[in-house]
Structure formats: C-alpha cells, structure tokens
A and B are shown apart, each in its own frame.
Chain A
Amino acid sequence: MQKSDYKNMWVYVEHDGKTAAPVSLELCCELRKLCDKTGDKLFAVILGPLAGDQIEKILDCAVDGVIEVSGTGYEYFNTDAWANAFTVLSRKYNPSAIFVGGTVNGRDFAPRFAVQLDTGCTSDAMELEYDPETGDIQFIEPAVGGKIMAVITVPALRPQVGTIRPGTFKYAPAGRKEQVERIREEINFDPEAIRCRHLDFIPDESDPELDIANADCIVCVGNGLKDSEHLERYRTLAKLLGGKIGCTRPLYDRGILPYKLQIGQSGVMVKTKLYISFGVSGAVNHTAGVDAELLIAVDKNPEAQIFNYCDYGIVGDMDEVCDELIDQLRAAGK
C-alpha cells in the first residue's frame, strides 16, 4: 500500500432527512483547517436524501465537494448498509481520512467499516494535527482517565478513520468555495440483508431538569460526594441560584445521577454563565466539556487539577462550603 495513493478527507454527514447533525458541521469546519495544511480536498458524504437547505449549510463550511449516495437500505440508520457504503466508496475513491461524528450511531458503524477496510480507527480526539514528515494525522486525545494526552497515528494504513465527539470543535463556517464538486453515487444495499433492523423509536419525554447544555448556572457534583444522601443540599443550592445540577462521570458510574447529567467529553458539553464544582478533580475529559463565563471550584484537595481551570477556588469540605453558601444566599434574600 502506498500512502500517497490516498488523497482527500471525508466527513460523514449524519442526518434525519431534515437536519444535518451539528457534529457533522463542526467536523467540516475543523477539517477545512486541516485540509488547508495537508493540501487535501474536503468532501462531505451524505447517505440518503437530505433537505436542500442543509446541503447549502454544509457547502458554507467551505467543503470542496459533496458525495451524495442514493439507493436502497438508507431509510433508517443501520450498521450494515452504512458500513458497506463507506467500504464501497472508500475502495473506489481512496480517501486519506474519514471522520465520523462520535454519536451513538457514528460510534456504532465507523469501527466496523474500519475493519472491513483493514485500517486503523481512533476515537475521541480533541485536537487534530498534521505531521508533514510522515503525512499522518496526529489524533490527540486524553488517555488513562485524562491523566495524560496521547498522540495516536495510523502510520501505515489508509484511510485514517476517526470518530469525534459532538461539541469538540467549533462550528465556524468559512464560507462557500467558488467551485464545488457534486458527486452522485448509487449504492444499493439489499434491505433483506440488514441484520439489525429498526422497528420503532420512542422519543424521551422532555425533562427540563435533564436538559443542562445551555443552563445559565450549573452546580456540578464530582466524585468527592460521599453518597447519595449528601446530594440534596446541592439540589437546594442549584435551585437558589436558578440553576441545574450536573455531575462528573464517576457519579453516573456509581448510579447516583443519570447519564444525561454527566458533563464532559463522553457526556454533555455545557455552555453556561456560572459553573460551581464541588468535589470535582478536574480531569481533562471533564473540563473539555465545560465552557463557563465564571468557574468556581470547591475541593478539599489543594492540588486538584480543577483549580487550574477555575476563576476562583475554595479549598475545603464540599458539604460545609455548600451549606454555608446556601445560608448566605438565603440571608441575602435568595
């Protein structure tokens, strides 16, 4: 295999026919910058019909082209048809890299076609760099629970496959290219050959307490929490501040709070005005998911990494500080 035979980078556009997933647009924007360094062209790959205004939106992200795939098997997401489409397309066009949004379904099918193509796959990179000496992309991501950053490469195989979590990169469309290639492909996948088929979808009932992505204030509770009996005071504090409660991964793992409240790279990415953390150590995987105007950290360990990310910190017992803050807020008429 000659690496130089593989050119151009692709972004898979996840969509429901009406709307392109934000992560796909974020990836187009970020990959534009990378392709400008590597000299590759950037293509968006769309399976099944997508509304015209959404394709316009993708073009605004300065892609060099769009590959639109039609055919049977794309009515509803299924790993078999999706993986097959990328394997067929990749063998025909030999892209250097394929990027897929790290949604539940993106993470479901991308590693699968990587095996079909016998190539390397990475997940959850937070930065993408290019090494002109090797011609390889450097996928930079937190490892070992966020203690270290690891550079991962696919040194000998192509395409380089990566899934990237939603919210990792910014949506900042660079404007439309003067010339855009529109490629149409027909790849039919026998619907009878779909081994895991969609029967039904039941949308979650909306619970405003679980919708924290854009809350004005978040009280985030971390692994310092002794047990669920100690949780109530943080709910009280969140209420007094007009905010919502969130948590770090260990609290979800311990079964104390639901997954939808887990903040960080593998959970919700939040954008908020005020963020107060209690007993949060500050692993990169968590802080990567926090975009706060004012970040306050409370933890008993003065060495905790969270103090590197805060604007103001208090070293102390999380429960005591929380109780005192509740008292003083109430005294102030909150």
Chain B
Amino acid sequence: MLKILVCVKQIPDIDLVKMDPETGNLVRAGVPTLTNPLDLNALEAAVQVKESYGGEITLITMGPPMAESTLRECLAVGGDEAVLITGRPFGGADTLSTSYSIVKAADMEGRFDLIFCGKESQDGATGQMASQLAERFDASQVSCCLSIDEIGDGKLRATRVLETGREIVEATLPCLLTVEKDNFYGRLPSLKDYLAAKTAPITTYTENNIDGLDLNKIGVPGSGTIVPKIYPPELPEPGRIIRTGSVKSDVAALMDVLTEKGAL
C-alpha cells in the first residue's frame, strides 16, 4: 500500500489583505482564510492515485491552530490522516526552515512513498517548497506534472509540462510531485465525508514533541531570507480617461485615437 503525503497551506484571501499606510505592515486581521487552491489540485492527484493503486493519504500543514480547518476540508475529500504543526517558534519561517519543520514532523509518521504539493502558494508564491521538501525527504522530484501514467516496481512514469512541450520521465520512489491543474481539478465532498471530517482526530506537533528537532533551524532563526522592507508599488501617472457621457461617444473617441495613432 502506498503511503502518500499531501502538503497543504492555509492562506489569507490575498484580494482582501491590505497594507497599513502608516506602519507599512500587512493587515491580515479579520481577513478570511482559504486553502491554497493549487494544494487542492495536489490533493486531487493524490486521491486519484489512491483510487487507482490503493494507499493511505496523510495531510500535513504548518500554521496557527486555526489551520486545522484546512486539514478538515482536505480530510473531507480523501485524506485519511491529518497532521498539524503549530507553535510560535515556527512563525516567520521562509521556505528553508518551513521545509525543515515539515520533514521533521512527517518523519514522525513514518516513510512516505509519494509526496504531493501545490506548485506554489497564492500568498508567498515562491514556488520553492516542493524542491526543498524533495531534497530534505531525499526523494526524487517531478515538478509540473500533467499526468501520472504508471506506478509500480518502486518507480513511476509521469508527464511533465515544459515551456515548449511535454517531457516523459521515470522517477524512483520516494518521489515528490507538483501537478498542473488540467487533470486534477478538485472535487466536492459527500455530506457523509464532510460530517466525518468535522470530528476526525488530528495529530498535533509543536516544537516540544518532534524528535530531533533543532530549534535553530525552525522559524525565523532557521530562515535564509528576511523581508526587511515592504512598500506600495510606485505607480505611473494615470493615462487619459475618455469620458464623454456615453459608451457610444467614448468608443467613437477611442476610434479617433486608434486611427490617429495608426493602430487600425
């Protein structure tokens, strides 16, 4: 039976995150959260593998206690076990330290044959986690996977999407994959699974109960990068707004511009 790990992340709705013009800090208070959309494609790929080849799916996330709701959402559509890594010392982590924390906690749950993650998160959007997790899991990696064509014999065959075509690769297990959404659109839970997920047990790890966790490698101390400054993007001066009173006359004015500029 395949042991499958799916890494998921709860993120703020970035459309609603604002920057405090006084302090220059991001205001996240009161901003609704969601499960990173690309992680749901990764979960769907894992569920399809489980349906075809058999297996058990463990979900893992790191975040504040409320990230539990993301785990429950994912349990409802095919996860079997769920792991939450939480605790102040993990906060402020970049990908170098997050990947370390996730792998140390995952090791507590045994060895995984397949690891799935989203291509990137909508909020941080570095797209670095997958490769860094693969390195720390000592796994092969298949990024931008369009389809998983065959699994067996300690190997898998998959199709990757590159800039100018598709690449067929063969990778040994354990293997970490990120997926394209084309064949892995997420699914909705049944009412039964939705209700079961509400009360399913969740394994929680903190900085105190992960074997061999080096506190210097987690959170801010373990991060390679920092963000010393954020600022609003400098915007150019607005262009000329055509405002003549009606759509018809606005478009007529635009036609004049296009003609004058030789664009037609």
Measured CB to CB, the residues of A under 8 A from B are 79-80, 83, 103-105, 107-112, 114-116, 118-124, 142-155, 157, 195-204, 217, 241, 253, 255, 273-274, 284, 294-297, 302, 305, 307-317, 320-321, 324-325, 328-329, 332, 334
A152 touches B163 (CB 8 A): no
A144 touches B131 (CB 8 A): no
Which chain B residues border A104 with CB–CB below 8 Å? 143-144, 160-163
C-alpha gap A297/B254 in the complex (Å): 11
A151 touches B162 (CB 8 A): no
The reply on B67 being an interface residue by CB < 8 A is no
Q: Told that A112-B131, A147-B19, A150-B227 touch, could you supply 14 new A-B pairs with CB distance under 8 A? A: A80-B140, A121-B96, A124-B125, A124-B126, A149-B230, A149-B233, A152-B225, A196-B171, A253-B37, A305-B235, A312-B240, A312-B257, A315-B243, A332-B264
C-alpha gap A255/B14 in the complex (Å): 20
C-alpha gap A96/B250 in the complex (Å): 55
A321 touches B131 (CB 8 A): no
Which chain A residues border B250 with CB–CB below 8 Å? 314, 316, 321, 324
Residues 233-260 of B contacting A (Cβ, < 8 Å): 233, 235-243, 247-248, 250-252, 254-255, 257-258
| 20 residue pairs from A and B, CB less than 8 Å apart | A104-B143, A104-B161, A107-B127, A111-B132, A120-B224, A121-B225, A144-B123, A148-B19, A148-B231, A152-B227, A153-B226, A154-B224, A195-B172, A199-B169, A199-B170, A203-B164, A302-B241, A308-B237, A311-B240, A313-B242
Which chain B residues border A311 with CB–CB below 8 Å? 239-240
Residues 176-235 of B contacting A (Cβ, < 8 Å): 181, 185, 223-233, 235
B161 touches A309 (CB 8 A): no
Residues A112 and B141 in contact in the complex (CB < 8 Å), given A124-B125, A147-B14, A255-B185: yes
**Interface majority SS on B: helix, strand, loop or mixed?**
mixed
A145 touches B15 (CB 8 A): yes
B252 touches A196 (CB 8 A): no
A308 touches B170 (CB 8 A): no
How distant is B211 from chain A, measured CB to nearest CB, in Å? 20
Residues A144 and B14 in contact in the complex (CB < 8 Å), given A149-B231, A307-B238: yes
The reply on B2 being an interface residue by CB < 8 A is no
C-alpha gap A308/B233 in the complex (Å): 11
The reply on B263 being an interface residue by CB < 8 A is yes
A123 touches B131 (CB 8 A): no
